[in-house]
Structure 1
Amino acid sequence: MTTTLHKADTRGYANHGWLKSFHTFSFANYYNPERMNFGVLRVLNDDTVESGMGFGTHPHRDMEIISIPLQGDLEHKDSMGTTAVIRKGEIQVMSAGTGVMHSEYNKNAEELVKFLQIWVIPNKMNVTPRYDQISIKENAKPNDFQQILSPSPDDEGVWIHQDAWFNLANFDRGVSKEYQLNKKGNGVYVFVLSGKAKIGDIELSTRDGLGIEDTDSFVLEALENSEILLMEIPMEL
């Protein structure tokens, strides 16, 4: 098993006043040639948006864009005619494909919005743009892996154009479970949303990330009550 550790305090950081963003990988004005991606996982941004503020309409293409709210409500509008609000306990996916315009706003007068913005490089280009949003809290699995994303529209969670599987792990302190990879040659990027965890002899704290490759499985142990996101993705670009 090969691992790449990214401690929370080594991430890139941008403070735009209305937006505070931590970048696990190179993004916008943060450039680190050693942190361009982990396999097809291109962007992992940890964003906080001030009340009444947001991202104005802007374009994307040929990217799978996943948003996972951690606090507050985020309003989404796009050129496909979608208007929606995403909240904690939900997941949003947008296949940009041939091109899409969208905006994201925090319309709350007093509450911050915190969310993860994740970009995955697709395995199919020039697809028809697509939007989806589901609740994931309804199928929560305490002390087990809960799949929230896969390559198949018939499987649990949202789907994207890539051989990727995302799982949430809400583990009580002391819980230990083995994660089995879905596809040989894939890697897993583990991101601790809250709490502390251990993989092998590596201890992870809140907002630490660990890339794992060259293995078919590994054991995740919660050192305290923890919420952890596991992103299994192809390592070949």
Structure 2
Amino acid sequence: MPGLLTPTVEIRRSDERQATRLPWLDSRHSFSLGTAHPDPANTHHGLLLVHNEDLVQPGTGFETHPHQDMEIVTWVLQGSLVHQDSTGHAGVIYPGLAQRMSAGTGILHSEKNDTHRATGATTATPPVHFVQMWVLPDEAGVTPGYEQLEIGDELLRGSLVTVASGMDAHRDTTAIRIRNRFAALHAARLDTGRHVVLPDAPFLHLFVARGTVDLEGAGVLAEGDAARLTATGGRQVTALGPAEILVWQMHAAARI
């Protein structure tokens, strides 16, 4: 596949994203799937169909709703998020804890801000800030599933850490498993001046979750910015201050 692709780096600035704003929610959408304003030219990159950055106010959240045939990874940046689903799983997701939900044949779940439970207040507390990402599974109709894993200690190394993967190359890591053999999500928390090298893959999606970085050959990316790389891995990402990045490595593209 790489030989058939044209090498490109497409920069998407934070303020270019579609937004959903409600009294309890501020959501920024990197892709248009499921949004109020579908854009046929912006449905996905590689296997990544949804990449939403959400701020949910204390005492509120997403009520019970359904999903089907999707691998959903949630990464919390600030605060804590309560998850409950129809398979009986319940838990609190916080920074450094990776979570994966396989919707499979169908699942109902809710996600709510848990900050007020930890602080004893429902006002004057920050919203929970998280990124939720969806990729299609290798096959439809699997049994729904759930997995979470604490990787905060690994992030202290200041290098790319595999958060979730279905690729054979990562079978010996401690990453949570997703049911797509062509995709992996990595994260890095970088001190000023620290750098990482992006993996080599036909499709990469680099998202600056916090801070500011320099992407080799493309320039400065601020918080909320993203780069969609096609057939051009191996570039260096350097933190211009304390920063956190999320990188999807994908060796196939969705057919939607």
What's the TM-score bracket when you normalise by the shorter of the two chains? over 0.9
> What is the rounded CA distance, in whole Å, between the counterparts of 2:199 and 2:92 in structure 1?
33
State the match for 1:159 in structure 2.
177
State the match for 1:4 in structure 2.
10
Q: In the alignment, is the contact (CA less than 8 A) between 1:23 and 1:30 conserved in 2?
A: no
Q: 1:191 and 2:207 equivalent?
A: yes
**SS of residue in 2 equivalent to 1:59:** strand
Q: In the alignment, is the contact (CA less than 8 A) between 1:13 and 1:30 conserved in 2?
A: no
Q: 1:6 to 1:156 in 2, by over 3 A?
A: same
Q: 1:77 and 2:84 equivalent?
A: yes
Any unmatched runs of 5+ in structure 2? 1-6, 117-121
**SS of residue in 1 equivalent to 2:174:** coil
The one-letter code matched in structure 1 to 2:232 is T
Q: 1:16 and 2:16 equivalent?
A: no
**SS of residue in 1 equivalent to 2:149:** strand
Q: What is the root-mean-square deviation of aligned Cα atoms in Å?
A: 1.6
State the match for 2:131 in structure 1.
116
Per-residue CA deviations over 1:145-166 (Å, capped at 9, x if unaligned) read 1111111665321110112121
State the match for 1:134 in structure 2.
149
- Deviating above 4 A after TM superposition, structure 1's stretches of 4 or more consecutive aligned residues are none
State the match for 1:223 in structure 2.
240
State the match for 1:52 in structure 2.
59
Any unmatched runs of 5+ in structure 1? none
Q: 1:141 to 1:164 in 2, by over 3 A?
A: farther
> What is the rounded CA distance, in whole Å, between the counterparts of 1:228 and 1:58 in structure 2?
29
Could you tell me the TM-score, scaled by structure 2's length? 0.86
State the shift of 1:223 in Å.
Answer: 2.2
State the match for 2:224 in structure 1.
207
Number of residues of Structure 1 aligned to a counterpart in Structure 2: 234
Could you tell me the TM-score, scaled by structure 1's length? 0.92
State the shift of 1:58 in Å.
Answer: 0.9
**SS of residue in 1 equivalent to 2:153:** helix
Q: Which one has a larger percent helix, Structure 1 or Structure 2?
A: 2
**SS of residue in 2 equivalent to 1:217:** coil
